[in-house]
Each structure stands twice: as C-alpha cells, then as structure tokens.
Amino acid sequence: MSKPLNLQDHFMPIPGDPDGAMQLSMPALLLMAASCVDSDDTPLQGKQRATSVLMEFVAMLHQIHYPQAEYLETWLLRGNPDARRLLPALVKAVDAVGQEAVGRMINRMMEGN
C-alpha cells in the first residue's frame, strides 16, 4: 500500500523568503513544466523549453523500458496536468530513472544544450 499523496512533500516554502518562493521536488518540477506546455501565460520560448524537457524525460523512461512511459508522455504533453493523478506516477518514474540523472538533464535542457 502506498502512502497518500502529500503535496507539501513536493512544494515546500523556502523559509524566510520574502516573495514566498517554493522549493520543488523533481517530480513537481516536471509537473510544473507540463503545466507550461499549453498555458496562455507562458511565452513561446518557455513552452518550447518545457516541451523539450518533458520529451527528454520521456526518452529517458523509454531507454529504461519503463512500463508507464506512454501513459506519462500522454499526460505530460497534453498540458493542464492533474497533479493528484500525475504526481504519484512521476514520483515512481523519477525514482526509476534516478533523481540525479533527471536533475542533470533538466539543468542541461535549461541551459539550452
């Protein structure tokens, strides 16, 4: 039996930050990227970069033959993700690929490489 989803495990306020900044878990960061894919508030370059990050993550899942790769690809790239449905799946997927590997990929993609 898996433990219930606690969003506070993934979206954590940074203590003392005057602007209310949040520290995100790796799955939460991917979820936020998915929310940028079709957002009217995200500029075109942001949408393209978010899509690139998500496509690279899905490629990593395919590389390890992750059984839910197609499911995650569909949910991540359609935009407007359902956090309660997608976040638990992302937690398992990120753990399968490796937190460090996903972090390196995101850093590389955000730098434009």
- Report whether 17 contacts 26 (CB < 8 A): no
The sign of the torsion formed by the CA atoms of 111, 26, 88, 84 equals: negative
So what's the pLDDT on residue 2? 55
Q: What is the DSSP letter of 3?
A: P
Residue 23 belongs to what H/E stretch? strand 22-24
pTM equals 0.84
- Report whether 11 contacts 22 (CB < 8 A): yes
So what's the pLDDT on residue 79? 75
Ranges in the chain, pLDDT < 50: 1
